[in-house]
């Protein structure tokens, strides 16, 4: 998508965050790295330690403990709370939402219609599923814009996300699948990659070279998946020795047991 905005520092809309945890830090870090000024952002959270971390890491961002009403009074309002908290938080903020506000929900499992009902019929709602690589401008967050959204309504959201990510428009019914694959997927890979780094170090490679070797290997492997016309079995055949061959079936079974089950739970 291309928007009417130019330059990552020219965001005029104020931004409110209800929830100052992981999701807020991921996007704030990405915006900071992209050069966006953060003075027009307010974060509310009941956890003082979470707010202290925001203050330390993102100078210019305002924080308010239990200040959901203030955060909800901004032009763009991000909902970054657990699903269980939505039934309490959303009805409480509905009186302070401005008619032109855009609510951006990062809550998996809570549809636009459900969110709208909790907000007393407010319907300017977008859903996104951020993922951790957005911290370095390499995110892949799916976005759902309801059909009622006009082009000019979507531009501020597109601008914010495109400054740090490659965003894609998806159907709402697919958001929970992306939550499992693109948002939680790194956790399925990182621990294995870090283990490879540790094993490389145990073999005498320096920590710096071990990390570089694993990162370059993973980057090349992903590029092969992206650009090669080979089938999965043909690509696997390029590696003469499969160290985990005896365990591959068990690993696949774990993936197929855990991830589809998690998706069902997110869908409710």
Note the pLDDT tens digit of each residue in 37-59.
888 999 999 999 999 999 999 99
Indicate if 19 and 110 belong to the same structural domain.
yes
CATH number at residue 249: 1.10.3730.10
Q: Residue 177: inside a domain, yes or no?
A: no
pLDDT tens string, the chain, 268 residues long: the values are: 333 333 344 568 899 999 999 999 999 999 999 988 888 999 999 999 999 999 999 999 999 999 999 999 999 999 999 999 999 999 999 999 999 999 999 999 999 999 999 999 999 999 999 999 999 988 888 999 998 887 678 888 988 888 888 888 999 999 999 999 999 999 999 999 999 999 999 999 999 999 999 999 999 999 999 999 999 999 999 999 999 999 999 999 999 999 999 999 998 8
Question: What does DSSP say about strands 125-128 and 142-144: parallel, antiparallel, or unpaired?
Answer: antiparallel
Question: What does DSSP say about strands 62-65 and 41-45: parallel, antiparallel, or unpaired?
Answer: parallel
Indicate if 31 and 69 belong to the same structural domain.
yes
Indicate if 30 and 74 belong to the same structural domain.
yes
Indicate if 152 and 89 belong to the same structural domain.
yes
Of 120, 137, 172, which closes a domain? Answer: 172
Indicate if 143 and 200 belong to the same structural domain.
no
Indicate if 39 and 113 belong to the same structural domain.
yes
Question: What does DSSP say about strands 125-128 and 62-65: parallel, antiparallel, or unpaired?
Answer: unpaired
Indicate if 49 and 159 belong to the same structural domain.
yes
Indicate if 160 and 193 belong to the same structural domain.
no
Indicate if 96 and 135 belong to the same structural domain.
yes
Neighbouring C-alpha atoms within 13 Å toward the C-beta of 58: 30
Neighbouring C-alpha atoms within 13 Å toward the C-beta of 263: 18
Indicate if 143 and 93 belong to the same structural domain.
yes
Count of the separate structural domains present in the chain: 2
Indicate if 104 and 157 belong to the same structural domain.
yes
Indicate if 210 and 245 belong to the same structural domain.
yes
Q: Which domain holds residue 236?
A: 185-267
CATH number at residue 76: 3.40.50.720
For 59-94, letters b (16+ CB in 10 Å) and e give eebbbbeebbbbbbbbbbbbbbbeeeebeebbeebe
Is the CB of residue 58 less than 8 Å from the CB of residue 38? yes
Residue with tokens 């492997």: 221
Model pTM? 0.89
Q: What was the pLDDT predicted at 10?
A: 52
Q: Residue 7: inside a domain, yes or no?
A: no
Best CA proximity match to 70, nearest among 97, 105, 102? 97
Of 172, 205, 228, which closes a domain? Answer: 172
């Amino acid at each position: 998508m291309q928007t009417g905005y130019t330059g990552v520092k020219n965001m005029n809309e104020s931004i409110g965050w209800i929830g100052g945890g992981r999701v807020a830090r991921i996007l704030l870090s990405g915006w900071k790295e992209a050069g966006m000024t953060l003075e027009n952002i307010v974060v509310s959270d009941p956890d003082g330690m979470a707010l202290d971390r925001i203050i330390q890491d993102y100078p210019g961002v305002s924080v308010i403990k239990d200040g959901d009403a203030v955060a909800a009074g901004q032009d763009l309002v991000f909902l970054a709370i657990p699903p269980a908290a939505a039934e309490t938080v959303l009805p409480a903020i509905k009186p302070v939402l401005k008619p032109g506000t855009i609510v951006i929900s990062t809550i998996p499992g809570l549809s636009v219609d459900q969110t709208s009902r909790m907000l007393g019929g407010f319907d300017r709602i977008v859903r996104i599923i951020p993922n951790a690589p957005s911290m370095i401008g390499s995110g892949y967050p799916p976005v759902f814009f309801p059909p009622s959204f006009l082009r000019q309504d979507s531009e501020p959201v597109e601008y914010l996300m495109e400054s740090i990510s490659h965003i894609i428009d998806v159907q709402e019914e697919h958001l929970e699948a992306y939550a499992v694959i693109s948002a939680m997927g790194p956790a399925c890979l990182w621990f294995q990659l870090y283990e490879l780094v540790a094993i490389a170090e145990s073999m005498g490679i320096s920590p710096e070279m071990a990390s570089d070797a694993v990162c370059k290997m993973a980057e090349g492997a992903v590029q092969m998946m992206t650009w090669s016309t080979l089938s999965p079995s043909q690509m696997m055949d390029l590696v003469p020795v499969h160290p985990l061959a005896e365990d591959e079936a068990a690993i696949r079974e774990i993936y197929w047991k855990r991830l589809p089950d998690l998706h069902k739970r997110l869908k409710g």
